[in-house]
Amino acid sequence: MDRDKIYAKLTSVFRDVFDEDDLSLMPETTAEDVDGWDSLSHIRLVLAVSKSFGVKFSASEIGGLKNVGEFVELIQKKT
Amino acid sequence: MANHALDQWQLARLGRAIAGAREQGFSLKPLMPFRLGLIGNGTLDLMVPVLTATAARHGFALECITGAYDQYLQDALRPDSALNRSRPDAVLVALDHRGLALQPSPGNEQVAAHTIDAAIGLLDTIRNAVARNSGAVCILQTLAAPPEGLFGSFDRALSGTARNLVDRLNQKVCETVVTSTDLLLDVAGIAETIGLADWHSPAQWNLAKLPFSDDYVALYAEHVCRIMGAMRGKSRRCLVLDLDNTVWGGVIGDDGLEGIQIAQGDATGEAFLSVQQLALALRARGVVLAVSSKNTDAIARRPFREHPDMLLKEDHIAVFQANWEDKATNIRAIAKELALGLDSLVFLDDNPVERGLIRREIPEVAVPELESDPSGYARTLAAAGYFEAIGFSEEDRVRAEMYQANARRLSLQGQTSDLLSYLRSLEMRIVFGSFDRTTRSRVTQLINKSNQFNLTTRRYTESQIEQLEGDGEAVTMHARLVDKFGDNGIIGVVICRLSRPGTWLIDTWLMSCRVLGRCVEQAVLGELLLRARAAGIATLEGLYIPTERNEMVRDHYGKLGFTRIDVGSDGSSRWELSVDTETGDVPMTVERQQPQLLPA
């Protein structure tokens, strides 16, 4: 799946999880930049991404992510 | 929401929207408020929005009070914890094998027994603390065994294995539930249905401490809400069955008695038989059965009466609506007949058009979605949990029959109310008089030929009647009925005698069968009471003497409000009524014939 498509799909997942319809994602986006991105919504986010892309993540893969760009790379590797 | 299936993400969004609306002070009426305390081990917060949305499907405005992460004991024990201060309606104790510290000790019964005692002790501590501090009932969970075995099949048999500990604890939890007011959420049963390997997700436990796979949060929430529904009397009470291709295979009107499929040994027939078996089992636990079928009544009833393979019989069906009216009308009629709310009904129909109609017209009615293959019907109906119960009593066992009896009474009432307006339309006029020369011969004729509506069947000659006319201790009355079709003549005769001071014994009461069902008896009684009061009489005494022909009046006095005081060995009975008794309105005007001055 190409990067743009992943960003588009990921953006819609983020909007669902954070209930924020004009949320937009940049590769540098981190938890600090998004309202309500706490540990609980992080879990919801990972579960939702996993479901919507049909991939599974291990704890170490998720734990090592620094920003949205790395998340997209991880998804790209798995799809 | 009757028309939308929502996945857990959509449910979560809806749940957050509901919670947001509540926080902003919007009323959630007509949803019924429910406060659910949620304590346990692992990450439970993710469930909250899904629970909130699912509860709305069940008619609840749910407010969840979650404890702090893994602080369930403190939440329960401290009277001032957020949980206890919120005065929850129920507290869901969502502890799993990890929370209850079921450490395996394979082959060591002593340690195993201690482990079980400790776990039950922990649950009891929580239960008692919740009851004391918040007054709420607890919903206890059975445990889903972890699928990882140690010995293989032998795990189940050996004391102290994970499987053995879970089995034993579940048994204890069930015993606790049946001997207390606390309730059961059978997580073990839900997980078994899913499959333990799918229920438990090691990845999600490691990653987020989810006690079970997030794929099943919506299902879990559904089961929790069913229990809340059962607590609040929202479980459904009546199953409305379509007939053709739902209860049997084929169309009775086209295929005939020999053509429909319900035989054992026939794959399709057995699928329909399992629908019938489930319906009967539901009836035996108190669910009322009804039929709504587009059919001619007599044709629809034939398989019930004549097909040897039918398990369902007419007797099992409380309301049988087979006609060509639309099903929404029929289902409303069924609810009315049973005096049940529409939200007590479940409608099972193979036809997607009928299902769609009911969902649109009466969204309160539950309509399970059926696949085209009938082999899944029974499972789909059972899995939907419409008839969730938190207990089972003797009353439940006989409830279906009780509703059925009520329905019969109500249908009679229904007819009666129609009947009353019909009777009023007859413009009846009843004219009372005492025996006299002009009526003597007709009265004598009635006394000697009336057999059916005749309480004592005492025969008198015309001269005896003539004597009665002048007898100061006897009261004679005849009744003439006139209606818009004409004069029916004298149709009723009553003779009373003073049997003891203050009491009139009704020696004779008879009526012409032509005027049965027209409330003439009530009118006659009203007149008798009027006369008795005027004569200073206190009590009317009735007598029924059975013959081969007068069975129809066996309970005549009972129906009129008399009290039975004596039953003879020959089946005769004596009855009493105080003359102060008020009689209801009768659908006719009452007139009294003036004593005529006739030449002697």
Q: Which CATH number fits domain A3-78: 3.40.190.290, 3.40.50.300, 3.30.450.20, 1.10.1200.10?
A: 1.10.1200.10
Rg (CA), chain A: 11
The structure's pTM equals: 0.70
CATH 3.40.630.30 corresponds to the domain B428-592: yes
Q: How far apart are CA B10 and CA B12, in angstroms?
A: 5
Is B91 within 8 Å of B83 (Cβ atoms)? yes
pLDDT value of position B419: 63
Greatest Cα-to-Cα distance within chain B, rounded to the nearest angstrom? 116
pLDDT value of position B598: 44
Architecture of domain B238-407: 3-Layer(aba) Sandwich (3.40)
pLDDT value of position B17: 86
- Nearest neighbour of A19 by CB, restricted to B16, B208, B210: B16
Distance from CA of A59 to the nearest CA of B (A): 5
- Nearest neighbour of A46 by CB, restricted to B45, B206, B207: B207
Instruction: Read off the tokens for B100.
Output: 């209850």
pLDDT value of position B411: 60
Q: How far apart are CA B432 and CA B198, in angstroms?
A: 84
Strand partners, B176: none
pLDDT value of position B398: 74
Q: Do B203 and A59 touch (CB under 8 A)?
A: yes
Per-residue pLDDT tens digits for B428-440? 899 999 998 888 8
**Residue ranges covered by each domain of chain B:** 8-231, 238-407, 428-592
pLDDT value of position B120: 95
Q: Order across the sheet with B503-511: list the strands.
A: B563-567, B573-578, B539-544, B503-511, B486-500, B474-483, B428-433, B588-592
Which of B506, B526, B524 lies closest to B583, judged by CA?
B526
By three-state DSSP, how is residue B486 classified?
Answer: strand
Please enumerate residues of B whose Cβ is less than 8 A from a Cβ of A.
Answer: 9, 12-13, 16, 43, 45-46, 203-204, 206-208, 210, 214
Per-residue pLDDT tens digits for B40-95? 998 898 899 999 999 999 999 999 999 887 788 888 999 999 999 999 999 999 99
Q: How far apart are CA B591 and CA B581, in angstroms?
A: 21
Strand partners, B567: B573
Chain B CB contacts of A51 below 8 Å:
9
Per-residue pLDDT tens digits for B327-347? 999 999 999 888 889 999 999
- HEC letters along B336-386: HHHCCCHHHEEEECCCHHHHHHHHHHCCCCECCCCCCCHHHHHHHHHHCCC
The mean pLDDT value of chain B amounts to: 89
Q: What is the Cα B447 distance to its own chain's centre? A: 48
pLDDT value of position B369: 95
Is B115 within 8 Å of B102 (Cβ atoms)? yes
Q: Order across the sheet with B238-241: list the strands.
A: B317-323, B288-294, B238-241, B345-348
Kindly tell me if the per-residue pLDDT of A78 is higher than 90: no
**Chain length of chain A:** 79
Q: How far apart are CA A68 and CA A34, in angstroms?
A: 11
Q: Do A62 and B207 touch (CB under 8 A)?
A: yes
pLDDT value of position B599: 44
Q: How far apart are CA B245 and CA B241, in angstroms?
A: 10
Strand partners, B90: B36, B137
Half-sphere exposure of B484 (CA within 13 A, CB side): 7
Q: Looking up tokens 């005692």, which residue turns up?
A: B117
What sign has the CA pseudo-torsion B326, B332, B335, B340? positive
**In which element (H, E) is residue B476 found?**
strand B474-483
Q: Considering only the top CATH level, what class is B8-231?
A: alpha beta
Q: How confident is the model at residue A30 (pLDDT cuts 50, 70, 90)?
A: confident
Q: Is B16 left (phi over 0), alpha (psi -120 to 50) or beta?
A: alpha
Distance from CA of A43 to the nearest CA of B (A): 6
Instruction: Read off the tokens for B492.
Output: 């009723």
pLDDT value of position B72: 87
pLDDT value of position B10: 82
- DSSP state, residue B153: G
Nearest CA in chain A to B207: A59
Distance from CA of B203 to the nearest CA of A (A): 7
- Nearest neighbour of A47 by CB, restricted to B16, B206, B214: B214
Per-residue pLDDT tens digits for A35-54? 888 878 888 889 889 989 99
pLDDT value of position B595: 58
Which of B274, B257, B273, B316 lies closest to B291, judged by CA?
B316
pLDDT value of position B412: 52
By three-state DSSP, how is residue B160 classified?
Answer: coil
Instruction: Read off the tokens for B568.
Output: 């003879």
Q: Do B208 and A16 touch (CB under 8 A)?
A: no
**Chain length of chain B:** 600
Query: In terms of DSSP bridges, do strands B503-511 and B588-592 run parallel, antiparallel, or are they unpaired?
Result: unpaired
Q: Which residues of chain B have pLDDT under 50?
A: 596-600
DSSP H helices in chain A:
3-18, 39-53, 59-63, 68-78
- Nearest neighbour of B9 by CB, restricted to A40, A43, A48: A48
